[in-house]
């Protein structure tokens, strides 16, 4: 008989899937492992969620039975990517992830978290990381101390969120420049008239 409640249910179940307290998450992971479930961990920003994110999470879930997704907090994202990121706030990013059938549990990763903090807390059977992050071999070796195995996945999309954000910024800048350029002749005329009156 299949379990259809909590994280094993078909619904969003945000109250069950989103586990902010890492101690509670650690206890849940121990219970899931006692059930014989293979735990997979993946982390990221998940900003401006796109099809590459969805396919990446699907590939990650294929590595085991239960997928836990670490979400970089707004503060952590600002530290790593600058003051204009994230575009989508953490509570919304968590809610979006809770709607995906491949995601079983979600937790936030704070800015002050010690290196590999979530990995050490969960000790997953499989840690999934993206090849595009360009991890140093020594960093991967350090992570391998706390996990069953590390799987490096190819990117699942041709573009990244950062590339899309840059495109939005440059498109906006181009539009602004065109508007300003169109107004310059009238502004110059106005300035000249003001100077002539003096």
Q: What distance in Å separates the CA atoms of residue 27 and residue 198, rounded to the nearest whole number? A: 79
Residue linked to tokens 């998450």: 25
What is the domain partition of the chain in residue ranges?
6-158, 159-198
Are 153 and 60 contacting, i.e. CB atoms less than 8 angstroms apart? yes
Contacts of 152 (CB under 8 A, 6+ apart): 129, 130, 131, 135
Give the DSSP letter of residue 83: T
What local confidence, expressed as pLDDT, does residue 181 receive? 65
What local confidence, expressed as pLDDT, does residue 156 receive? 65
What local confidence, expressed as pLDDT, does residue 135 receive? 82
The fold adopted by the segment(s) 6-158 is Rossmann fold (3.40.50)
Q: What distance in Å separates the CA atoms of residue 35 and residue 121, rounded to the nearest whole number? A: 18
Element (H, E) at 1: none
| pLDDT (tens place) for every residue of the chain, 198 residues total | 466 777 777 777 888 899 999 999 999 999 999 999 999 999 999 998 988 899 999 999 999 999 999 999 999 999 988 998 999 999 999 999 999 999 999 999 999 999 999 999 999 999 999 988 778 899 999 999 999 999 999 876 666 555 555 555 455 555 555 666 676 777 667 666 776 776
């Amino acid at each position: 008989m299949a379990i259809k409640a909590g994280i094993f249910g078909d619904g969003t179940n945000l109250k069950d899937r989103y586990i902010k307290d890492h101690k509670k998450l650690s206890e849940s992971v121990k219970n899931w492992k006692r059930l014989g479930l293979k735990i997979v961990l993946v982390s990221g920003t998940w900003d401006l969620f796109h099809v590459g994110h969805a396919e990446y999470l699907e590939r990650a879930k294929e590595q085991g039975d239960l997928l836990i997704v670490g979400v970089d907090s707004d503060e952590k994202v600002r530290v790593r990517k600058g003051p204009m990121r994230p575009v989508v706030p953490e509570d919304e990013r968590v809610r979006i992830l809770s709607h995906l059938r491949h995601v079983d549990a979600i937790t936030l990763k704070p800015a002050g978290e010690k290196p590999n903090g979530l990995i050490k807390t969960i000790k997953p059977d499989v840690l999934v990381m993206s090849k595009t992050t360009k991890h140093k071999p020594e960093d991967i070796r350090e992570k391998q101390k706390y996990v069953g195995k590390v799987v490096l996945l190819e990117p699942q999309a041709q573009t990244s969120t950062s590339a899309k954000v840059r495109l939005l910024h440059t498109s906006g800048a181009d539009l602004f420049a065109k508007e300003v350029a169109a107004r310059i002749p009238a502004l110059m005329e106005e300035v000249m008239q003001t100077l002539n009156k003096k």
